[in-house]
Each structure stands twice: as structure tokens, then as C-alpha cells.
């Protein structure tokens, strides 16, 4: 008789059901797993065999066949152990044949029969709840799985479930972990000087725009970037669930605790393409996905490998990272806000710095590492000049993170209300406004249209850059609580948007 139980295969953050079928037949003793298993799944034979021995059971001297259906779906990971072991327990009569009815399972076995924490418990629990199944999972993964709202049965070992099925032990349902309240992080008040950069940071936070700081070392670029998450509103319940699913797949949810903080990822410039976009043998999420609904900060931007930066172009536009394999495509959500920082040249100075003896060639070679199509996806280019000794002796500014965050929150509320009226987007921010609504949402008068057309001709703006200027001016108007985009809003947006191929963010023109 074939014994069955459901488990799950992970395709991005989606958990797809897998029917685990176990049958004992006559013949030479053999333990076979079929259904396109990878190495970790094939090794389940030894872990299950040892776990049975650890709880005092022996496998029968028969041929054991485990089929993971559908057979054409690749199976990766060690979380299939528990489902295989439970179906095998039913096959040898250690538990009743109907004990697995309405059940699903994920978990990795240790050699003594105990269960190890497993990744993907939250997406698996969500899929089980949608199928009206009880999820059996390791005790340590129970608080994470309980967030799905379904029935979760956390067990410590195989023996625990055997006793539970026999009625000798009652297992309490899992309780969801804690929600970590927001931590605003370092205060913007700590940054002295750089008032123009603070303004650019506020605009970027209000509209979800991509931002590039350019300036000499020690001018506060990294300090400003680390204070951006504190200006952003807390994750909404929907965003929190999406972010937590990605973190669950990546094994980052400790004790089932969820955080309302927006993700902030700052990978080193030596990061590979797989680390940045995602990939590896199991197609795990990369930095762009771990920064979903948050901030991806790239310090020393020109030091990143060229192919890594070019790989960011598609996620910046589509909001998802696609990892291609020979037999499938894995998709992870990756709608993040890019913030980058760079020195004007390798010497650390700029065109006016005396310590750069190789100008202008040094400047051109260093910034030439950044391609035009990549820079075209950045909304604000902001110069951070050197901070003087006089700036450092000034008292702390009157406005800090708390005060600026209030204005950002009001501007985002205006955007959310507007986008709800026109159908909404993936993120309710101006940076994600669809092109077909720009004429209505970003309407400008004749004077502003003349200014924009002149700037588009003078700066050779692409169609993408043209639309991004409109979105940026809409955000500036929202910060001013203005229903209309006025000429000075558009002029400020053009000031941040302008760049020269040889001097990114340097010598910005005034309007």
C-alpha cells in the first residue's frame, strides 16, 4: 500500500506542493528516491535510516521506493527528510495509516531523530494553509510558520510525532514569534553641513527615488545613506509578509521574529553577480531581493564589477530578479531603492582638488566605469563637498530624523491616496508611477513645459530620464503639499537630474 504526505518545493518565494509517495515491495533490500532529487534529497536515505535507528526502529528488509511527484519538478534541499520519514513510519505500521491524512511536512532530520531548523517554513505554511493542510515542522521553526495563520504542529523529534499519533502525547499548536518594533537607527542630526545632500535624501525618501552621492572621502556620503531607513515609513502588513517570505527562504528569521524595519543591505564592492542578483546551486535570493521594499546601498560604486552593476539594470526596471537555469526560471521580488556613493576619482578628489595630479584623465577613467544606461536609472545626482572645520564646530542642526520623517510620511500619504484612485502600483510611491498616467498626475503648465523641453535638449535627456524628471518634480511638489507642479519644482528636479558624462554630480547648474 502506498503511503502519502504532502511537502513543498520552493520556486522563488512560492511553495509548490510535492506528493511524497512511499511503497514497500519485495526484492533485495534497497532504498531508492526518484522524482528528480538533488544531492541533498538523495542523502535523505542515510539520514532517515540513522534517525529510525536513533528512535529504536529498523527498516524492513524490503525494497523501499520513494517517489516525489511531480517527477519533472526539480527537488532541492534537505527539508524533504521529515515527509519521507513520516510516510515511511506509516508504511511500516509505526503510526496509523490515517495519521497523515490532511497533513504536510517540512524539516531536516538529524541522525538521532531530532529535527533541525529548516528554511522556507513561512512560505510552506502559507501554501499548507491555502490547501487546508496541517503543517508538521521542526519545533524551532514553529514560531515562523505560525505567522501564516494556519494549523502548525511543531515537533522536536520523530518520536514526538509517533507518541502524538498514538495518543500518548499532546503537541500544542505553534505560536507566532514576536514583531520587533521599529528602530530608527542613527539620527540625521548627527550630520553637520551638507544641507543640499540632506534635501536630496529627503526627496529620495519621499518618492522612493534612486540616489547617487558624489564627493571626496570624509564628506559624509555613507553617513547620509545609513540614515535613509529612519526616514522611511514602517513596512505595511502586506510588505512585511513579502519581506518575511524572502528572509525565510534565506534562513534569516531567527526564532520567528518579524521586523517592521525596512531592509537595508550594504554589500561589499567585491560581491559577485550571484551574491548581488541571486543564484548559486540552489538559486538563493541575492542582495537585490533581500533589499525588497527597502534600501540597497552600494558604497564605492565604481569599484563594483561592471557585469554586477549591469545586472542591476533589469531589477531596477521590473522590480524582480530572474535567475535562469537550464530547466527553469526562478523569480524573486526585488523592488528596492538604490542609494550609491562614489569618489569623483581614484585619488579621492575631484576636478578642483589639488591632490589629484592626473586630472582630468583620472576623473574620466574612474567615472567611465559606470555605463550610461545604468546611470540613466538614477533619479538624483548629488554632490557632497568637503566638510569644513567651521561646519564641524557648529551646534547640531535643529532638524533630525524624526522631523524629516514626518514630512516624508505626509508626502507618501498623498502619493498613496493618489495611486489608489488610479488603480495603484507595486509600491505607492512616485518613482513607480506608470508612464500612461504621467500626463494626468504630473501635468505642468506651459511655462514649465518650455523649461523641461529646453533642458531635455540641452542635457540630451533620454525618454526614461524625461519621465523620471517628471516623477521627481511630482515628489518635490508633494513635499510642499502642492497639488500642482510649479516651475520651481521642475527646476529643482532638473538640478538634481543633470549630470555630465565626465563629472557625475559635479558643478550642478542653478535655475
- Can you tell me whether residue 202 is helix, strand or coil? helix
Q: Where are the domains of the chain?
A: 3-165, 188-497
What is the Cα–Cα distance from 88 to 117, expressed in whole angstroms?
Answer: 21
Answer yes or no: pTM beyond 0.75.
Answer: yes
- Can you tell me whether residue 360 is helix, strand or coil? coil
| Sign of the torsion angle spanned by Cα atoms 117, 121, 124, 129 | positive
**Residue 368 has what pLDDT?**
87
Cβ atoms 301, 338 nearer than 8 A: no
Fold classification of 188-497 (topology level)? Rossmann fold (3.40.50)
Cβ atoms 63, 104 nearer than 8 A: no
Cβ atoms 128, 135 nearer than 8 A: yes
What is the Cα–Cα distance from 214 to 9, expressed in whole angstroms?
Answer: 44
What is the Cα–Cα distance from 330 to 14, expressed in whole angstroms?
Answer: 10
Residue 210 makes CB contacts below 8 A (sequence gap 6+) with: 204, 316, 337, 338, 339, 340, 377, 378, 379, 380, 431
Assigned C-alpha cell, 195: 544641507
Q: Is 178 exposed, middle or buried (0-12, 13-18, 19+ CB in 10 A)?
A: exposed
SS3 string, 300-332, reads CHHHCCHHHHHHCHHHHHHCEEEEECCCCEEEE
Q: What is the pLDDT along the chain (511 residues), one digit of tens a residue?
A: 899 999 999 999 999 999 999 999 988 999 999 999 999 999 999 999 999 999 999 999 999 999 999 998 989 999 999 999 999 999 999 999 899 999 999 999 999 999 999 999 999 999 999 999 999 999 999 999 999 999 999 999 999 999 999 999 999 999 998 888 777 789 999 998 899 999 999 999 999 999 999 998 989 999 999 999 999 999 999 999 999 999 999 999 888 889 999 999 999 999 999 999 998 777 889 999 999 999 999 999 999 999 999 999 999 999 999 988 777 789 999 999 999 999 988 887 655 555 676 767 888 888 889 999 999 999 999 999 888 888 888 888 888 999 999 999 999 999 999 988 877 666 789 999 988 888 888 988 888 899 999 998 988 889 999 999 999 999 999 999 999 999 999 999 999 976 543 444 333 333 3
Q: Is 486 exposed, middle or buried (0-12, 13-18, 19+ CB in 10 A)?
A: middle
Closest-CA residue to 352 (of 503, 174, 224, 129) = 503
Rg (CA), the chain: 28
Fold classification of 3-165 (topology level)? Ribosomal Protein S5; domain 2 (3.30.230)
- Can you tell me whether residue 66 is helix, strand or coil? strand
Cβ atoms 346, 362 nearer than 8 A: yes
- Can you tell me whether residue 370 is helix, strand or coil? coil
CA end-to-end span of the chain:
81
Backbone angles phi, psi at 398, to 5 degrees: -70, -30
Backbone angles phi, psi at 430, to 5 degrees: -65, -30
> H helices of 5-91, where?
39-42, 44-54, 81-91
Residue 6 makes CB contacts below 8 A (sequence gap 6+) with: 17, 18, 19, 20, 83, 103, 104, 105, 128, 131, 133
**Residue 502 has what pLDDT?**
41
Which residue, chain included where needed, has cell 523529534? 157
Cβ atoms 212, 382 nearer than 8 A: yes
**Residue 498 has what pLDDT?**
65
Cβ atoms 326, 193 nearer than 8 A: no
Amino acid at each position: 500500500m502506498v503511503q502519502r504526505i504532502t511537502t513543498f518545493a520552493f520556486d522563488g518565494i512560492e511553495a509548490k506542493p510535492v506528493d511524497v509517495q512511499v511503497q514497500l515491495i519485495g526484492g533485495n533490500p534497497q532504498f531508492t528516491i526518484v522524482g528528480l532529487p538533488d544531492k541533498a534529497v538523495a542523502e535523505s536515505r542515510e539520514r532517515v535510516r540513522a534517525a529510525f535507528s536513533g528512535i529504536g526502529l529498523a527498516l524492513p528488509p524490503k525494497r523501499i521506493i520513494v517517489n516525489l511527484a511531480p517527477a519533472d519538478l526539480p527537488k532541492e534541499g534537505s527539508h524533504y527528510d521529515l515527509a519521507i520519514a513520516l510516510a515511511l513510519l506509516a508504511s511500516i505500521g509505526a503510526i496509523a495509516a490515517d495519521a497523515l491524512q490532511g497533513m504536510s511536512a517540512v524539516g531536516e532530520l538529524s541522525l538521532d531523530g531530532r529535527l533541525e531548523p529548516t528554511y522556507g517554513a513561512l512560505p510552506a505554511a502559507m501554501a499548507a494553509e491555502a490547501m487546508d493542510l496541517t503543517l508538521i515542522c521542526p519545533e524551532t521553526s514553529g514560531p515562523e510558520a505560525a505567522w501564516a495563520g494556519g494549523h502548525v504542529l511543531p515537533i522536536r523529534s520523530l518520536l514526538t510525532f509517533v507518541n502524538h499519533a498514538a495518543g500518548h502525547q499532546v503537541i500544542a499548536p505553534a505560536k507566532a514569534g514576536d514583531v520587533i518594533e521599529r528602530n530608527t537607527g542613527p539620527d540625521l542630526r548627527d550630520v553637520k553641513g551638507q544641507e543640499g545632500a540632506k534635501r536630496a535624501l529627503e526627496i529620495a525618501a519621499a518618492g522612493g527615488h534612486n540616489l547617487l552621492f558624489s564627493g571626496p572621502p570624509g564628506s559624509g556620503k555613507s553617513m547620509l545613506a545609513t540614515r535613509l531607513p529612519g526616514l522611511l515609513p514602517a513596512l505595511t502588513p502586506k510588505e512585511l509578509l513579502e519581506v518575511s517570505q524572502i528572509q525565510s527562504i534565506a534562513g534569516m528569521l531567527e526564532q520567528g521574529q518579524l521586523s517592521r524595519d525596512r531592509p537595508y543591505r550594504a554589500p561589499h564592492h567585491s560581491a559577485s553577480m550571484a551574491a548581488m542578483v541571486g543564484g548559486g546551486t540552489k538559486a538563493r535570493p541575492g542582495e537585490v531581493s533581500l533589499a525588497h521594499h527597502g534600501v540597497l546601498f552600494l558604497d564605492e560604486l565604481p569599484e563594483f564589477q561592471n557585469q554586477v552593476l549591469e545586472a542591476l539594470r533589469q531589477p531596477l526596471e521590473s522590480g524582480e530578479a530572474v535567475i535562469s537555469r537550464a530547466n527553469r526560471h526562478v523569480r524573486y521580488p526585488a523592488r528596492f531603492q538604490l542609494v550609491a556613493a562614489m569618489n569623483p576619482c581614484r585619488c579621492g578628489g575631484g576636478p578642483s582638488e589639488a591632490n589629484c595630479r592626473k586630472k582630468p584623465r583620472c576623473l574620466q577613467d574612474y567615472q567611465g566605469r559606470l555605463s550610461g544606461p545604468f546611470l540613466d536609472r538614477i533619479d538624483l545626482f548629488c554632490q557632497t563637498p568637503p566638510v569644513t572645520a567651521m561646519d564641524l564646530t557648529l551646534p547640531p542642526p535643529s532638524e533630525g530624523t524624526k522631523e524629516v520623517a514626518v514630512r516624508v510620511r505626509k508626502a507618501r500619504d498623498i502619493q498613496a491616496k493618489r495611486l489608489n484612485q488610479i488603480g495603484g502600483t507595486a509600491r505607492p510611491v512616485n518613482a513607480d508611477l506608470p508612464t500612461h498616467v504621467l500626463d494626468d498626475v504630473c501635468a505642468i503648465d506651459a511655462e514649465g513645459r518650455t523649461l523641461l523641453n529646453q533642458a531635455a535638449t540641452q542635457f540630451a535627456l533620454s525618454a526614461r530620464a524625461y519621465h523620471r524628471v517628471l516623477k521627481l518634480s511630482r515628489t518635490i511638489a508633494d513635499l510642499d503639499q502642492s497639488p500642482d507642479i510649479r516651475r520651481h519644482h521642475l527646476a529643482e528636479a532638473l538640478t538634481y537630474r543633470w549630470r555630465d558624462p565626465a563629472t557625475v554630480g559635479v558643478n550642478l547648474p542653478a535655475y
